[in-house]
Amino acid sequence: MSISSTASEPVLLHAAGSLRAALTEVVKTFAADTGLQVQPKFGASGLLKDEILSGAPAGVFASANLEHPKALAQAKRAGPVVLFARNKLCALVRPDLVVDPATLLDRMLDSNVKLGTSTPRADPSGDYAWEVFRKADALRPGAFSKLEQKALQLTGGPGTKAAPTGGSLYGILVAGGSADIFLTYCTNAVAARRDDRGLQVVALPEILRVSAEYGLTVVSTASPDAYRFALFILSEIGQQILVNHGFAVPSSPP
């Protein structure tokens, strides 16, 4: 393969679904600035990690946690892992359910309330939800078991519904009655409410609050352009785009 044909190949980006809007803008800005193209694939970080470990072509991996990119580094499939953004979990709630941060745990434990989450291990959002359950158990012994049993793993798994183009899957699931409360990233919840103003976004009480740390790595076989794109994500321009989409910079408090 010639050097010129290699240089024309796009950077392959595997990225968490929650980064779709932000990194789509980063990709467009990077292309306008450098003339280089990026081919993104968005999905559950755990599933994307497994694809890369199985040998799928990849360049940059932007995960919704640090664990999955570190697994690639430990397997010698990628370089060092960098924390590049932060997020938090919020509750996306159906319009007619009366709930606030103080009563959120009561509603989550209510047997008549359908609680939606993503799929643990496949999608970090599910893992973060389970962390909320553990915190709830420390507050109310037995809560973890009840929440784990009732949680409906509606997204992020191998066989779950994919996000629609240009819409919020979480908003669709809550508005359609699949879940009364859905624990998801605050960025997802706010985006869903933009599409459907009837939905509620409820912050988790401080005692249940969970911070999501996003990790970035470059696959070992990637081209120099992949490193250039990764550095662009970490640049002031890239970081500002992430902030504009509701993420927090790495230096912000968890």
Q: Could you tell me if residue 251 is inside a domain? A: no
Q: Do 37 and 68 lie in a common domain?
A: yes
118, two tokens: 């993503």
> With contact defined as beta carbons under 8 Å apart, do 48 and 40 qualify?
no
With a cut of 70, list the residues of the chain below it in pLDDT.
1-8, 165-166
Domain that holds residue 76: 3-85+213-244
Q: Do 64 and 165 lie in a common domain?
A: no
Q: How far apart are the first and last CA of the chain?
A: 46
Q: Do 97 and 167 lie in a common domain?
A: yes
Q: Do 133 and 227 lie in a common domain?
A: no
| Dist. CA 146–CA 137, nearest whole Å | 9
Q: Do 54 and 133 lie in a common domain?
A: no
Q: Do 156 and 126 lie in a common domain?
A: yes
Q: Which contiguous run of DSSP H or E holds residue 14?
A: strand 11-16
DSSP state, residue 205:
P
Q: Do 103 and 202 lie in a common domain?
A: yes
Q: Do 110 and 189 lie in a common domain?
A: yes
Q: Do 61 and 137 lie in a common domain?
A: no
Q: Do 75 and 92 lie in a common domain?
A: no
Predicted structure pTM score: 0.93
Q: Do 40 and 60 lie in a common domain?
A: yes
Q: Do 62 and 92 lie in a common domain?
A: no
| Dist. CA 39–CA 162, nearest whole Å | 19
Q: Could you tell me if residue 252 is inside a domain? A: no
Domain count, the chain: 2
Name every residue whose Cβ is closer than 8 Å to that of residue 247 and which is 6 or more positions away in sequence: 22, 85, 86, 87, 187, 214
- CATH number of the domain within which 53 lies: 3.40.190.10
155, two tokens: 């997204």
Q: Could you tell me if residue 120 is inside a domain? A: yes
Question: Which candidate, 253, 220, 217, 211, places its Cα nearest to that of 234?
Answer: 217
Q: Could you tell me if residue 46 is inside a domain? A: yes
